[in-house]
């Protein structure tokens, strides 16, 4: 019989090219370029987060070198170029690329000017709190795992995300014959729209947009019009215009235009270079000076005007000839059930709802099976306590532990439920019945697992106190799993009560509560709120009260600075005054150092202090 290796097969070039190209295309589409609509992640991002999770690289632990994480990802899960993996890590750590970063980076991770990140041997990373919400309950058999490239490790097919990350952080990628481009959205708005969809599955896109009016871009800027956004939510494709945010200032006697927010994914350095080039070529008239005054406190591009310049005309030319105004094309392509699809907003919510349904189902089954195993062990221990002297004699006389185990399992032990709750355990089907072991008319026959638990039991378990604790464990199991018969038909029950389950504190509302930690308010939005709504927005944020008289000149100075620049940039006198006033009004030392980054007077009612990017302190002015 001839070996297949020595045989020659005839194939046409067209057939071979078609088959090979299709295999390549599907590999790129499914395995690299497109995100899954359930967790919003591409395979490389999912594998990075999983590797960090496995290493215990959590927010409450010290940072680890990026090179160490990258080695685990490439060596175990993602056999591709290390540069592509590091680029993915860097992007997940950039606040100007993602609305809610998944990686907490320490070191140089690039800038909005297009600067490259430092080499992986210099930077350090760990998971963010938001990233942990994507990994919650991963160890409870909530998702399927697949073998890695060599079969020695297993990788989750999808993460048990608590929120629709496909919309929250968005995604972009180019596959073969298709591409995806989804803008980031605000977590709180997305969750509000999703919960409205659960309550009203037949709701229109217009109703959903009342909760989620549009994208929330990390670099800010204004979105002009909503028609393109509505079209994208209805069809999966759309287009909207983004315009930079600016205000006028007078600097050294000259009128100036100051840009504080620029469109998403625009390189600030190239933008300034383009404006300078147009001014040099006389294509933009009226520019006296151009400076980049951006620092750690925020973005600030200053254009000083000539004396006779028309600022409105100049702004129109800037919008037309530079990327201060640009368009963003939405193309919400993602993997749905392993197949690339153009997704509408309702389809995204529907897929995520089914994903959460499966996670809740599998998690409940896992916990129920764990409770059954625990109840089975506890019943064996209660049998041992009822026959403790006989069991001690048997163990003492047995030549080996193996013999002792066999004798424990081979004998019928006198036992009856110690109380009504043990009988209830059997009636609720938590404990196994109609098996070779267990309770019968002849007595109780121990299983191998129960025998192991008895042999491993320490002597202090024989005390009266420990016996009471054993009974308490039984009662706790009864309370937690009193509806065990319903769990046998869990799919039907979940289908009937999905709204209750999703709204429960143990499930998706944890993500809504967690969103307070990631909330970044817009000053323009805050100024439109009444007092009650303002305090609701900052519920849980440290608050205090002070009279206008107590702040006197200090408050006026802070208000003036806020109205002019919106930041207390480098004015040391302002910082010192703010610190003194803050300490005088609160015993907890609101600003115990000089790291207050901004102070805004909202509607002459509240002084909002900001420290860093996400930490706020509210002072109510009486």
Q: Give the model's pLDDT for residue 3.
A: 57
CB-CB neighbours of 107 under 10 Å = 16
Instruction: Look at residue 297 and give its three-state secondary structure.
Output: coil
- Model confidence at 589, in pLDDT bands (50, 70, 90)? very low
Q: Give the model's pLDDT for residue 386.
A: 80
* Domains in the chain: ranges and CATH: 22-180 (3.90.199.10), 245-323 (3.30.1360.40), 365-487 (1.10.268.10), 521-621 (3.10.290)
Condensed to tens digits (0 to 9), the pLDDT of residues 17-35 reads 887 877 777 777 777 789 9
Q: Give the model's pLDDT for residue 220.
A: 86
CB-CB neighbours of 501 under 10 Å = 19
What is the pLDDT averaged over residues 73-85? 90
More reliable by pLDDT, 217 or 620: 217
What is the pLDDT averaged over residues 136-141? 90
pLDDT of 303 higher than 90: yes
pTM of the model: 0.76
Q: Give the model's pLDDT for residue 389.
A: 85
Tokens of 299: 């973005």
Least confident of 101-105, 509-513, 527-531: 509-513
What is the pLDDT averaged over residues 90-119? 92
Q: What is the mean pLDDT of the chain?
A: 77
Q: Give the model's pLDDT for residue 544.
A: 59
pLDDT of 179 higher than 90: no
Condensed to tens digits (0 to 9), the pLDDT of residues 185-236 reads 998 889 889 888 988 889 999 999 999 999 999 988 899 988 999 999 999 9
Condensed to tens digits (0 to 9), the pLDDT of residues 452-480 reads 888 888 777 666 656 677 777 766 766 66
Q: Give the model's pLDDT for residue 494.
A: 46
pLDDT of 612 higher than 60: no
What is the pLDDT averaged over residues 396-402? 88
Least confident of 201-210, 478-487, 490-499: 490-499
What is the pLDDT averaged over residues 385-389? 82
What b/e sequence results for 455-488 when a residue is b if at least 16 CB atoms lie within 10 Å of its CB, and e otherwise? bebeeebeeeeebeebbebbeebbeebeebeebe
Q: Give the model's pLDDT for residue 456.
A: 86
More reliable by pLDDT, 93 or 490: 93
pLDDT of 513 higher than 60: no
What is the pLDDT averaged over residues 241-256? 89
Q: Give the model's pLDDT for residue 567.
A: 33
Q: Give the model's pLDDT for residue 601.
A: 57
What DSSP string describes 528-566? Answer: TS-HHHHHHHTTTS-EEEE-HHHHHHHHHHHHHHHHHHS
Least confident of 90-94, 376-380, 471-475, 496-500: 496-500
Enumerate the active-site residues.
122
What is the pLDDT averaged over residues 516-521? 46
Sequence-distant (6+) residues with CB within 8 A of 249 are 255, 256, 258, 302, 564, 565
Least confident of 257-261, 272-276, 534-538: 534-538
> Which of 602, 582, 613, 589 has its CA nearest to residue 537?
602
468 vs 416, 451, 453, 454, CA distance in Å? 17, 21, 18, 17
Q: Give the model's pLDDT for residue 576.
A: 46
What is the pLDDT averaged over residues 120-142? 92
- Distance, in Å, from the CA atom of 537 to the CA atom of 531, rounded to the nearest integer, reads 10
141 sits in the region (left: phi over 0; alpha: psi -120 to 50; else beta) called left
What is the pLDDT averaged over residues 39-58? 94
Instruction: Look at residue 92 and give its three-state secondary structure.
Output: helix
What is the pLDDT averaged over residues 396-424? 76
Least confident of 20-34, 141-155, 198-212, 376-390: 20-34
């Amino acid at each position: 019989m001839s070996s297949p290796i020595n045989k020659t097969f005839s194939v046409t070039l067209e057939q071979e090219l078609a088959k090979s190209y299709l295999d390549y295309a599907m590999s790129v589409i499914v395995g690299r370029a497109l995100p899954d609509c359930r967790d919003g992640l591409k395979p490389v991002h999912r594998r990075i987060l999983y590797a960090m999770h496995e290493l215990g690289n959590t927010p409450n632990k010290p940072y680890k070198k990026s090179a160490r994480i990258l080695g685990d990802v490439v060596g175990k899960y993602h056999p591709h170029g290390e540069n592509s993996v590091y680029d993915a890590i860097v992007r997940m750590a950039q606040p100007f690329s993602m609305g809610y970063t998944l990686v907490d980076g320490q070191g140089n991770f690039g800038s909005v000017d297009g600067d490259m990140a430092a080499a992986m041997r210099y930077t350090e990373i760990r998971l963010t709190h938001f990233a942990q919400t994507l990994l919650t309950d991963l160890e409870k058999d909530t998702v399927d795992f697949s073998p890695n490239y060599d079969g020695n490790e297993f990788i989750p097919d999808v993460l048990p995300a608590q929120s629709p990350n496909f919309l929250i952080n968005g995604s972009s990628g180019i596959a073969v014959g298709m591409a995806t481009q989804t803008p980031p959205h605000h977590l709180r708005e997305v969750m509000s729209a999703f919960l409205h969809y659960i309550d009203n599955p037949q709701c229109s896109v217009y109703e959903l947009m009342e909760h989620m009016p549009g994208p929330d871009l990390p670099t800010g800027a204004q979105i002009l019009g909503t028609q393109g956004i509505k079209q994208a939510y209805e069809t999966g494709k759309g287009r909207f215009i983004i315009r930079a945010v600016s205000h006028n200032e007078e600097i050294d006697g000259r009128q100036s235009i100051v840009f504080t927010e620029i469109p998403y994914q625009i390189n600030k350095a190239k933008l300034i270079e383009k404006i300078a080039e147009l001014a040099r070529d006389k294509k933009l008239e009226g520019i006296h000076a151009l400076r980049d005054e951006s620092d750690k406190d925020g973005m600030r591009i200053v254009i000083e005007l000539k004396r006779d310049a028309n600022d409105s005309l100049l702004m129109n030319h800037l919008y037309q000839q530079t990327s201060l105004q640009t368009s963003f094309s939405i193309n919400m392509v993602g993997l749905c059930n392993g197949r690339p699809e153009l997704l509408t907003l309702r389809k995204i919510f529907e897929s995520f709802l089914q994903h959460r349904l499966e996670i809740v189902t599998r998690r409940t089954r896992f916990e129920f099976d764990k409770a059954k195993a625990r109840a089975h062990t506890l019943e064996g221990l209660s049998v041992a306590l009822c026959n403790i002297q006989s069991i001690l004699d048997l163990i003492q006389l047995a030549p080996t532990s193996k013999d002792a185990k066999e004798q424990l399992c081979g004998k019928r032990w006198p036992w009856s439920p110690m109380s009504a709750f043990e009988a209830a355990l059997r009636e609720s089907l938590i404990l196994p019945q109609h098996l070779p072991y267990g309770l019968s008319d002849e007595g109780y026959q121990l299983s191998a697992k129960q025998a192991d638990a008895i042999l491993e039991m320490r002597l202090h378990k024989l005390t009266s106190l420990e016996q009471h604790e054993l009974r308490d464990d039984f009662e706790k199991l009864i309370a937690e799993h009193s509806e065990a018969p319903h769990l046998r038909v869990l799919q039907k029950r979940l289908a009937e009560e999905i709204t209750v389950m999703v709204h429960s504190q143990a499930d998706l509302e944890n993500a809504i509560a967690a969103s307070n930690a990631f909330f970044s308010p817009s000053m323009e939005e805050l100024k439109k709120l009444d007092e009650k709504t303002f305090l609701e927005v900052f519920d849980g944020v440290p608050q205090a009260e002070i009279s206008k008289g107590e702040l006197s000149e200090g408050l006026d100075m802070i208000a003036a600075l806020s109205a002019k620049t919106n930041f207390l940039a480098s004015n040391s006198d302002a910082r010192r005054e703010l610190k003194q006033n803050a300490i005088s009004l609160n015993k907890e030392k609101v600003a115990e150092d000089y790291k207050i980054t901004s102070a805004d007077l909202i509607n002459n009612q509240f002084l909002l202090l900001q420290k860093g990017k996400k930490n706020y302190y509210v002072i109510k002015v009486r």
